[in-house]
Structures are given as C-alpha cells and as structure tokens.
Amino acid sequence: MKIAFFGTKPYDKIWFSALAKDYGYTIQFFEAKLNEETVSLAKGYDAVCAFVNDELTKKVIDELVNYKVRGILMRCAGYNNVDLEAAKGRIPILRVPSYSPEAVAEFAIAMYLTINRKTHKGYNRTREFNMNINGLMGQDLYHKTAGIIGTGKIGQAMIRICKGFGMRVLAYDVYQNPELDVEYTDLDTIYEKSHMISLHCPLTKDNYHMIQEKSLKKMRDGVYIINTSRGALIKTSDLLEALLKPGKIGGVGLDVYEEEGDVFYEDKSNEIMRDDVLARLVTFPNVLITSHQGYFTKEAMQAIAITTMENAYVLDKGLKMENEVVLPD
C-alpha cells in the first residue's frame, strides 16, 4: 500500500516510518498541507493521511475519488475539517478516536496553572535575575469551581484532574453520562458559577462560536477560559473585547485558534504577522497561546501511529473499519 502523508513534520517521520516498514507499506511524507492546490500530489497513492489543518473540502474529496484513492486516514481525533457529506458512500474516512486523553487534559490544566500562577513570567524574570514577585499573585484552585464543557474522554480526564486539586466540578454535555460522578448542569449555570471554564467538545454546526459576547457576559468576573478543543468554539473578536474590559477575564489559554490553519505548526518568526487578531492576542499579559500541541506527548504520538497504521491495514484488507467516521442517515 502506498500512502501519501500530508502536512508532515520531522517528528511524524520518526513515529510512522518504522511502523510502516513492519506493515510493508510505503509512505511519502509531504510537508504541504492537503488542500485544493496540493491534492494532485495524491495521484497514484492508495490512501492519504491528513491532520487537523488539512482542508478536505468537497473539491479535494472529488479529486481523491477521481484518483481512485481508497481511503482517508486522519491521524487525529477531530474531523471538522472534512466534508463528510461529500465523502459519504464514496471514500471512507478513518480516524484515531482516542490516543491519550490525558495528554490533552494535562496540557489544559498546565495552561490554567501557567496563566493563573504566572510561572511563565517567573521563568523570564529569574533568567534576568529579577527576583521581584510583584504582579505574580495567583489564586488557589482548591474549592474553586471548574466548568467542563464536553464530558467525553478528554473531559473526563480533566474532571479527574480538577477533582484532584479539590475543585468543585460542574459539567455540561449534550449527552449526559450516567456513570460519571459529576454534577451536570446547563450552560448558563456553567458560565455563571465557574472560575475556570475548559472546552472539551468537538466543533459542530451547533456550537460554532458558543463562546461569544452573550456567553462571555454571563461569566463571572475574573473567569479563566481554556480552549484545547477547536478554535471556532470561541468568537475571538468577542473574546478580545472582553479581555479589554478591566477585571472581566482572569486569563485565557488557547491551544487552538479559529484562524490557526495558516500559522500554527509553522515558524513565522521572521515574517510580519498579518493576522491582526492573533497579533493583538499575544500582547495580553493574561493570554497564553500555544500551537495546537495539547496532544503532543510521546505516548500520544506512538498511539496515533499505531492506530493509523491499523486503520490503513483494515482499509487495505477490506476488514471491518471500527474507526470509520460515519455520518448518520
């Protein structure tokens, strides 16, 4: 089987090359992201492998079908960047539903702790032997309220972590899990009561820009907002407005950003930043932005590689595709 990997970085090669040999598959690693301009690179391959910022539009899917590509292997959990309608019944999409929920949840709490306790500032100060701690005061997590939106695998890991800190945890999900020992409530209550709100739901048509002016208004003053899910859950322009209101936002941790496609995972340090919103966001002392690295642990990378190669194998052999993304009829 010949697989075209898109949007790859050196670390992808490390994890996938060795495994592909075991399966007897050939991988071509393309640095280019998969989109309408680059899809022709997929000609002659049996499958393509894509990641979070590839653009699997209808046109891309049509071309892949034309080239007789047999399947799309997403080396991630999310698939909001795939036109599922266009793919339905024409080309299977397989994903990695779970690799290390703890990787993302641990990163989310790290973001909260960083912006709350200002360790990033402490690090910079002491490197210059500025041992002054003025302005570095944070808050205890103990007995504060965490609002967790989305109680799937990552949300559950986050709930366990927050409880470990002695936090009260409120949760919201479109489907409540009766086996979960957590206080489910509605979104408004989460907004009103939480000291920290962490997003762990997928991006869908229903929750696009769920955090916007109205929901931000409902939140308590000094709220911390952590988004490790998908950028477009937050209307960034409204978040910027809220950040400008004195005392409204305690801090924001964004591992994802609605316009991340062109900038995340790339070194833009020698270029002029053309995204004014992102440029403005990074100037806030209480905003921490990372480049979609929540998943990026050794354990997660290994699990992603193993499941992706297993997905390639079942596709190749025509076996039952447990990890296929199926659009409901």
User: Which positions touch ligand NAI (CB under 6 A)?
Assistant: 77-78, 98, 101, 104, 149-155, 172-175, 200-202, 204, 206-207, 228-230, 255-256, 292, 294-295
Q: Minimum distance between the CB of residue 156 and ligand NAI, rounded to whole angstroms?
A: 7
> Which is catalytic among the residues 192, 230, 274, 324?
230
> Which is catalytic among the residues 260, 266, 271, 280?
260
With respect to ligand NAI, which residue has the nearer C-beta, 91 or 149?
149
Q: Quick check: is 260 catalytic?
A: yes
**Backbone phi, then psi, for 48, in 5-degree steps?**
-115, 150
Alpha carbon distance 108, 199 (integer Å) = 9
Alpha carbon distance 282, 264 (integer Å) = 14
Q: Minimum distance between the CB of residue 101 and ligand NAI, rounded to whole angstroms?
A: 6
Assess contact for 170 and 145: CB atoms under 8 A: yes
With respect to ligand NAI, which residue has the nearer C-beta, 124 or 204?
204
Using DSSP bridges, classify how beta strands 249-254 and 287-289 pair: parallel, antiparallel or unpaired. parallel
Alpha carbon distance 118, 141 (integer Å) = 14
Among candidate residues 135, 103, 59, 30, the one with its CA nearest the CA of residue 255: 103
> Which is catalytic among the residues 70, 95, 200, 292?
292
Q: Quick check: is 230 catalytic?
A: yes
With respect to ligand NAI, which residue has the nearer C-beta, 221 or 299?
299
Among candidate residues 117, 190, 189, 126, the one with its CA nearest the CA of residue 155: 190
Residue 200 DSSP code: -
With respect to ligand NAI, which residue has the nearer C-beta, 153 or 195?
153
Taking CA atoms, 31 is separated from 9, 11, 65, 303, in Å, by 7, 12, 22, 22
| Residues belonging to the active site | 230, 260, 292
